[in-house]
Every structure is written in structure tokens, then in C-alpha cells.
Amino acid sequence: MSYQVLARKWRPRRFDEMVGQGHVLRALANGLANGRLHHAYLFTGTRGVGKTTVARILAKCLNCEANGVTDHPCGECAACTEIDSGRFVDLIEVDAASRTKVEDTRELLDNVQYAPTRGRFKIYLIDEVHMLSAHSFNALLKTLEEPPEHVKFLLATTDPQRLPVTVLSRCLQFNLKPLLPKMIGGQLERIAAAEGIEAEASAVARLSRAADGSMRDALSLTDQALAFGAGRLLDAEVRDMLGSIEQDFMVELLERLAASDGPGLLETVSRMAEGAPDFGEALAELLAMLHQLSLAQTVPAVFDHDGPAAERLAALAEQLDPAWVQLLYHIALQGRRDLPLAPDPRAGFEMVMLRMLAFEPEPADAGGGSGGPTPSPAPAPSKPLPSPAPAAMPASDATGPATGSATDRPHTAPAAETDWHRLAAELSLSGMAQALADHCDWVGREGGRVTLQIDEGHRHLVNDNVTARLAEALSAYFGEPVGVHIEMGEVDAETPAAAAERREAEKQAEARAAIESDPNIAALRATFDAEVISESIRPRD
């Protein structure tokens, strides 16, 4: 007898044989038990999670000869066995990917009106239904909404977004979720025990992760691993087949990072490269290691103490700063995303490692504390230029708070005229406070009070909160408490905002002049009677 692949041999034939998908199975079982049958079911989900399998089991539930309409088909009657073998005349399976034309759909629907030949219901199972054309969906709509009592539609798709909403609204929708590696691993262990296959737990776990939530992919990979390992599932052989990296390499990389050993780090990568690994998979392994490290540091109770590298990871968890581990995880995650853009996978992987090394936290100061590099102090803004301060007219004052720490670098109060344009640009302001400063002009400073002037057109910018923020920024700049007094009146001098508008207008004029004088533009105008749209011209930054 010819060999039957595991994915077909171990396809579930009853709901209780399914792995996962309890939210779908419960709804279907309750509907069958209570006689609440819909005429159209839509099963969605990624490849290999059981959409078609659930549909076939549902077909048996509807047509079982021994138990009637039930959520526990007997599996032995003629209807059940013929559905399992794909020979049941009243189960019409259609691959929509190969029958997308409207003529195919109409031909299919011509037989809907006829009663089933043998079964209780005539069932149309349309796989990859999103591949039907728009005309095919239109032909299907009316029948899908009001089919005869003896007809049930079971639709399956991996891309429900491509289905028209008119189809979606006529179906009961069930979304099958990707399976967890633990669920897949449990099923693989049961299959290995039933088949008498020698299987290492680490090999099963590796296959479960590689399946990426798909049971069918897991079984196909298991078939491949059995062929590769001569009927055994050994971790070393599964790792070679998948192009995975030994965990020892990953732990060694983390140990080199912890020791700030750059040459050793690259030497480890060089030894890894001798096996021609998948560097994207290597980063995935590294992410799994960093995840375990973070668990050991923050939630030790759930750390995998039985893992192959548990002792070395536990030692690393005590050496590495938790914040740095989080940063390493983020760098590895971004590096895995960007790896296809690197000119060479190995070079991309090395850059990820070097980036991790570059962001190593500096040793903590004697005062204590751990973490990243100590930021250098921000440069102090330059001193304002002086000028006599004219007298101020009375208006409302806003006093800013005193300056903060002693490490601030205060600016001496100007003895004469101040360059307000430069000072306003250097203040730590944003939003309304920055707009207020940009539309004011410097009047003068007398003692602990700075007087500014603003025109009536910008009165809306002046309020207690905004003025207080401006006073706070000036206090920090001068290194002593400063109040702000704003006068209303016509501003004769050019404000910072007006100066910015003037510079922008000059740049726009220069750009327009450059376009107008360009000989290529002149040639286009002469040849094609072209017209330059002035509003589309933008100066270069």
C-alpha cells in the first residue's frame, strides 16, 4: 500500500478530534444540537488551521444516516465514509481559484433546485471563495440569500476582506485562529506515539514553532523531517533541515555582548556563518532568548528553568541591565524587519550585533544607578546683545517661577539692547508660547521684569497660562526669576514671525525667478505652449 502523508492520514473526522478552535466548534455543535441550522457558513483563517476540515465534518453532521442531524456523526455509515473518501454525490466541492468565471458559477447553480440524490442535504463546499469574479458573486447572491431548504453553502477563504459585503451579510462567519505552538506540539507528540516514531521533545518544539500556527504545515514539516532523519525526529537533524541556529551560538552572542567583547562577537558570527544559516531565523532565535531573559528578570516564576540553556540564561539575567535587555529586543526586532534590505544577510546580522554593542550602557557612577549612557549637558545659548530699555506702559504681568537645578547655566542680564530674534529662537518653547514670543518685540528689562510689545491683531495669543510659560522659559534662560509684562500697541520693529515670513517670501521669489529664467522651461514654453503654475513652485529647503 502506498504511503499516505501525515496531513491526510491524521485529518480530523469528528469535532472532538480537532486541535484548538473551540470557539467555532462550540457554536456549530450547539446549533446542530438545537436544530438552529443556517443556510450559509463562512470559515475564515490562515492556511492550514482547519477551514475545509471543519466544513467536511459539518457536512457529515448534516447527512449522517445513523445519528441524523447531530454534532457527533457515527463515522461508519455510508454517508460518513463516502464524505471522508470524497465520493459523496451530494457534497459538491468547488475550488473557486480554478472556477472563477461567471459561466462556471451559473452551471453550478443550475442544479441547486434539484433534491439531493442520497443525503439529507445537498452541500456546496466552495474553497478559496474570494477568488470568484465580481460577476460570479452577483450570480451567487440571490441563491445564497434564499436557497432551497435542502441546500447548504459552506464557504472557506483565507482572505475575507476580498469578499463583497453583500456575501458576508448572508453568511454565519467563523474565524479560525492560528494554533499555539503548545497545541501543535501536543498533537505531534500524540501522532509520534501512535506511529511509533522516535521523537525528541526539542525537535517537536522546533517543528511547532516553525509551523507558524498551521497544523497542516506542522505535519508537512514532520513528514519532511522524517525523510531527512530516516524515520526519526532528532533535534540536530530538524535544526539542520530548517536551517536553524544552535542555541549555544545565541547564548554565546549574548555573553559576548555582556562582556563588551566586539572581536569575540564577530568571531562567533563567523563560526555561525560556516553552516550557511538563515540569519532571519537566527534573529528569531535571539528574540526568543531575549524574551526568556526578560522573563527571568521580571517574572522569574514563568521562566523556563528546564530549557537547554536555562543555567547560562539565568546567569546572564543577573549580569545584564533589564532596560538594556528591552533595548536589545527592540534592536533585534527592527533588525529582523530590515534584514531583507541589507546587501548581504550576514552583513545585516553583524550590523544588528554591532548596534547592540554600540548601545551598551556605560558603567554607573559612584552615586549609583544603572542604565544607558550618561547624556552630555546641552550647550548653553549665547548671550543676548545689549541696549537701553525704553520705559514700559502699564499692563498685566506674569511672573515665571525660579530656575530649577544648580547645574543650569544662567545668562547674565543684558545691560543694553537684546537681540530678541535670537533669544526667542533659543528659548525652550512650543505651541502657543512659541507663537507669542515670535509675534512680540523686545521693549526692555528692568530688574526682574521683561517688557514685550505685541500688536492688537495678536491679542488672542496673550493669556495667563501662555504668559507664565514664557516667563518660566526666560527665568531658566537668565538664571533668575523673571516676570513678563506684555504691552498692547503697534509694533514698529520686525518681529521674529514677520522676519520668518519675509525670509520665506524671499526664498519663494528666488525660486520663481530661477524657474522663469531657466532655459529648459523657456524651451518647453516655446515648443508646447506650456504654462508655469506659480502656485506649484516651492523653494528648496
The SS3 assignment for 152 reads strand
Highest average pLDDT, of 53-57, 303-307, 311-315, comes from 53-57
**Percent of the chain beyond pLDDT 70?**
88
pLDDT at 282 over 80: yes
Do residues 487 and 454 lie in contact, with contact meaning Cβ atoms separated by under 8 Å?
yes
Domain 247-358, classified CATH 3.40.50.720, yes or no: no
**Model confidence pLDDT, tens digit, residues 23-76:** 999 999 999 988 889 999 999 999 999 999 999 999 999 999 988 999 899 989
Dig out the grid coordinates for 99 from the structure.
472556477
110 band by pLDDT with thresholds 50, 70 and 90: confident
Q: Within a 10 A sphere around the Cβ of 26, how many other Cβ atoms?
A: 12
Q: Which listed CATH number (3.30.300.150, 3.40.718.10, 3.40.50.300, 3.40.50.720) goes with 397-493?
A: 3.30.300.150
For residue 329, what pLDDT is reported?
92
Strand ranges inside 84-133, DSSP E = 91-95, 122-127
**Model confidence pLDDT, tens digit, residues 242-270:** 877 777 888 889 988 888 888 999 999 99
Contacts of 295 (CB under 8 A, 6+ apart): 302, 303, 304
**Structure-model confidence comparison of residues 150 and 410, the more confident one:** 150
349 band by pLDDT with thresholds 50, 70 and 90: very high
For residue 308, what pLDDT is reported?
67
Cα–Cα distance for residue pair 135/220, rounded to 1 Å? 36
Task: State the burial class of residue 528 (Cβ atoms within 10 Å of its Cβ: 0-12, 13-18, 19+).
Answer: exposed
532 band by pLDDT with thresholds 50, 70 and 90: confident
Q: Within a 10 A sphere around the Cβ of 441, how many other Cβ atoms?
A: 20
**What is the CATH T-level fold of the domain 6-175, as seen in this structure?**
Rossmann fold (3.40.50)
Average pLDDT, the chain: 83
Residue in the block written with cell 545668562: 411
For residue 371, what pLDDT is reported?
42
Contacts of 299 (CB under 8 A, 6+ apart): none
Strands 198-199 and 122-127, sheet pairing: unpaired
Lowest mean pLDDT among 65-69, 177-181, 380-384: 380-384
**Model confidence pLDDT, tens digit, residues 184-224:** 999 999 999 999 999 888 889 889 988 888 999 999 999 99
* Rounded mean pLDDT, 99-123: 85
**What is the CATH T-level fold of the domain 181-186+195-242, as seen in this structure?**
Helicase, Ruva Protein; domain 3 (1.10.8)
For residue 306, what pLDDT is reported?
67
**Model confidence pLDDT, tens digit, residues 478-515:** 888 889 999 998 888 889 999 988 988 898 888 888 88
362 band by pLDDT with thresholds 50, 70 and 90: low
Lowest mean pLDDT among 200-214, 229-243, 405-419: 405-419
**Structure-model confidence comparison of residues 387 and 540, the more confident one:** 540
Cα–Cα distance for residue pair 391/339, rounded to 1 Å? 65
Cα–Cα distance for residue pair 137/108, rounded to 1 Å? 13
Domain ranges, ordered by start, for the chain? 6-175, 181-186+195-242, 247-358, 397-493, 498-536
Highest average pLDDT, of 173-182, 296-305, 455-464, comes from 173-182
* Rounded mean pLDDT, 154-169: 92
Lowest mean pLDDT among 123-127, 133-137, 384-388, 436-440: 384-388
Lowest mean pLDDT among 145-149, 288-292, 381-385: 381-385
Helix axes 215-228, 235-242, angle to 10 degrees: 110
pTM of structure: 0.59
